[in-house]
Structure 1
């Protein structure tokens, strides 16, 4: 899913094309999940955005928002597969098959903003799996981070360095007894770190991702902090373009397309995979040693292909049991957004299966998360 660096990329494009311009028109498609789960409707969003000027674009971890000339302000989260596209620029790293121009609006759009002025530009929020969230926050722009849900999330490693110090991290680690990577992935602790960023941090720190968080020495905590700042700063600065990442990064070599024997660093060190709590972690055993107790449910030798193709992973069958239905407006937690959805369950705008196999042009892409973004272009 898009993590701190991928969100920084979108904020970059919003600053480049949208900031300083007025929204002349808005098109929306009603979605009781993407809008409704967080207490907003497409019609409310359309009304709130039309005729308003965009003053800035900002980010906290995996969340990003537009500062408008008056409240409310739109706050967004991509979930597993959301993205933002621009009619006059390519915000991803791919080109459509046969170099044909992409039709507009793009498939799976939730809103399209038409901007005044030149160059002509429209901005579309797209989400095939409907795990993204779009809401309106009725707060002054200076108070956004003091308002839910941002206030419930931890500090951002890039913009909150005064808060996320070595001492702060040491106290946080020692206040819990959980696998250290699980602590990093919990957005209530630290904002923006997902699976691939977490793996890179642990590799650069030369620490084992499943060692309990309260077992690290002061020296190890310092290494972890240094690695976190280095990885997040570098990935954000490079706007998640993995082709520009340092050659010695684990990220550059971990994607083996399911062939574990192919996952090696340039020096020949083998990359292996652990699975704990349903998540796959890439590690280099020759340098990431266990120095204290680790979580007991670690299983070694997990197939990296499972993580790379997580959109196709089927959930385990469990015994049926009766439970009370959850309210429709219940907030989807970060952990739930990370749960893979079987390929056959992918839904369209109206909650129905997308057919359209003969529509438009097939596209493929790969972002820093190593996931292939694919689909077919349609007329929306």
Structure 2
């Protein structure tokens, strides 16, 4: 947040941080959502500001991972100075995208979560774009084919733009997104493709996401 004169507050949202403006409906992301029936400012508020024109906003954090720092130039110091290009506002050109992956030996999901490589992709979104591109999360980045890189480049754009379009309301996500299966019990998850009857298969799990490949 840039003020007329330094220092300026720098907000690191963590997993559940959010800024709420009084009287304005914002993102419906469930981990950070504050009920409109709660007192104002919320009991989870870490910073409350009232401006001269009457506007009020509150920085909330239910899980206490968020941080607020006062800095003379927030963009010149970590973590902002270490961020890679924004996946939505500064997307890599396809050729640069393919070449960048070709130089990395990290697992593809780890690379997508590396904010110094590309900023803006978190855990569930990395799972989603890899699922839509049909790429195994543990596959080495440099070994991904050019065609798969093209598919991943497209899926990153599609998943982010759709998420923004619906205001992060997961109820509005497409039915074929694996996001809807993140918290379902075993056997109840969404399956996109033929049922696997063979006992020979590879199962890879990370948190609530499972990717199953027929052998």
Q: Is the 8 A contact 1:80 1:129 kept in 2?
A: yes
In structure 1, stretches of 5+ residues that fail to align are 1-65, 291-380
Deviation (angstroms), 1:273: 6.9
1:199–1:283 Cα contact (<8 Å) kept = no
| Distance in 1 between residues matched to 2:43 and 2:195, nearest whole Å | 42
RMSD: 2.8
Question: 1:143-197: per-residue Cα shift (whole Å, max 9, x none)?
Answer: x645532221111111112xx1222222322222121001101111110111110
CA distance in structure 2 between the aligned counterparts of 1:112 and 1:273, rounded to whole angstroms: 47
Matched, 1:193 2:121: yes
What is the Cα deviation at residue 232 of structure 1? 1.5
Larger Rg: 1
Over 3 Å counting, the alpha-carbon distance change for 1:229 and 1:146 in structure 2 is farther
What residue number does 1:81 align with?
16
Unaligned runs of 5+ in 2: 197-201
Distance (Å, rounded) in 1 between the aligned partners of 2:111 and 2:172: 28
> Is structure 2 residue 182 aligned with structure 1 residue 255?
yes
1:154 paired residue among 84, 105, 130: 84
Q: Is the 8 A contact 2:204 2:212 kept in 1?
A: no
Mapping of residues 248-327 of structure 1, within 5 Å: 248-251=176-179, 253-257=180-184, 259-265=185-191, 274-275=204-205, 279-280=206-207, 282-285=209-212
Distance 1:81 1:89, change over 3 A: same
Q: Is the 2:46–2:58 contact (alpha carbons within 8 Å) kept by the matching residues of 1? A: yes
Q: How many pairs align? A: 206
Is the Cα–Cα contact under 8 Å of residues 83 and 127 in structure 1 kept in the other structure?
Answer: yes
- The yes-or-no answer on 1:102 pairing with 2:38 is yes
SS of aligned partner of 1:285:
strand
Using CA pairs under 8 Å that are at least 6 residues apart, name the structure with larger relative contact order, 1 or 2: 1
The Cα shift of 1:280 comes to 2.5
The answer to whether residue 69 in structure 2 is matched with residue 135 in structure 1 is: yes
CA contact (8 A) 1:184 1:198 kept: yes
1: CA distance, partners of 2:101 / 2:195: 29
| Distance of 1:273 and 1:70 partners within structure 2 | 54
Q: Structure 2 length as normaliser, TM-score?
A: 0.81
Matches within 5 A, 1:1-380: 66-93=1-28, 96=35, 101-117=37-53, 120-139=54-73, 145=75, 147-161=77-91, 164-251=92-179, 253-257=180-184, 259-265=185-191, 274-275=204-205, 279-280=206-207, 282-285=209-212
Question: Is the 8 Å Cα contact of residues 273 and 282 (structure 1) preserved in structure 2?
Answer: no
Contact kept, 8 Å, 2:27 with 2:168, in 1: the verdict is no
C-alpha distance after superposition, 1:337-372 (max 9, x if no partner) = xxxxxxxxxxxxxxxxxxxxxxxxxxxxxxxxxxxx
Q: Deviations over 1:13-42 (max 9, x none)?
A: xxxxxxxxxxxxxxxxxxxxxxxxxxxxxx
Give the CA deviation at 1:132. 0.7
